[in-house]
Chains A and B, each alone.
Chain A
Amino acid sequence: MDDFEQKLKSLKLSKPSEGLKNRIFSQQSKKQSLKWIFLKRVSLGWAAVFAISIGLFGFFLAQFLYTQRTPSFLREPSIVKIQIIESSTTKNVFDFTKTSVDFLPGELEVKTKSKGEV
């Protein structure tokens, strides 16, 4: 190496910023900790089963949250007792010659039916 090369070589070079090492190496350690999740190999069958299960669970959860009760097609027919404590009318509600929506105090038995039976 001659004098000219030595003189060129003696010039002071730009340096990378202080934080670059941290930026490279600390980010990598965070990535490494999550890496196994993405690198884990599973068979296509298991992935499909998992996806379908998640889908069904989501569907039922949405239905439940929407109606706040069991989905209609899963509901068993049952007999429900309704107690009318206070009548909304003084009319004779046993007069079936007219349509009425009024009820006397007392109890009514109502049988619920599933959607298919109606």
Chain B
Amino acid sequence: MHLLRNELGKIYDDFSQQLFVCAFAVTGNKELAEDAMHNAFCHLFNLNFVPQNLKAYVFKSVRNSAIDLIRQTGRTVVFYENYIFDSGNSHNPREIANTNQFQYKVSQALLKLSEDEREVIVQYLYADLTFREIAELLSISIGTVTSWYHRGLERLRKLLEE
């Protein structure tokens, strides 16, 4: 199982932010997203087998842990105003203001989408998953994923133009 441990360490190093964003998209809360990652990895360390597609399996575990945590804590998801985004590290005040404003607009628009559309968009754009990987993760067909993505993207475009 040391092999699995090393593989998981590598996956954490390569995809920690994407995994975090995936969990964050479900929990809407940083602390719960980190707890979800923690729980998922603890579960993965105890696996008695090595999954065929370990990366997809890790993403699925983190997402399931996030859903479990929401159910266990009985929390209503209250998303951050800035959703999954961080404040920029630019030194130019005008640039910071513009970025923050755009992030805020995108956050608000994302929160107006349906849960499915929002999750697919976040996973595709920010977790760098392919449509096939998202389909595996959500256990749905690729057609459904692409349909949700394009519908969500169009709604997002309109909401931002308003």
Contact = CB atoms under 8 A, between A and B. Distances in A.
Given A4-B157, A20-B16, A20-B37, A13 B9 contact: no
Interface in B93-136: 99, 102-103, 106, 125-126
A86 interface: no
Interface in B27-58: 30, 33-34, 37-38, 41-42, 45
B38 A24 contact: yes
A25 B9 contact: yes
Given A24-B42, A28-B42, A28-B45, A12 B86 contact: yes
Interface in A1-38: 4-5, 7-9, 11-17, 20-21, 23-25, 27-28, 31-32
**Which size bracket describes the interface of B in this complex?**
20 to 34
A10 to B, nearest CB: 9
A32 B20 CA distance: 25
B37 A13 contact: no
Given A5-B125, A24-B12, A24-B42, A16 B85 contact: no
A9 B38 contact: no
A12 B88 contact: yes
A14 B125 contact: no
Given A12-B85, A25-B9, 6 more contacts: A8-B125, A15-B17, A20-B16, A24-B42, A25-B41, A32-B45
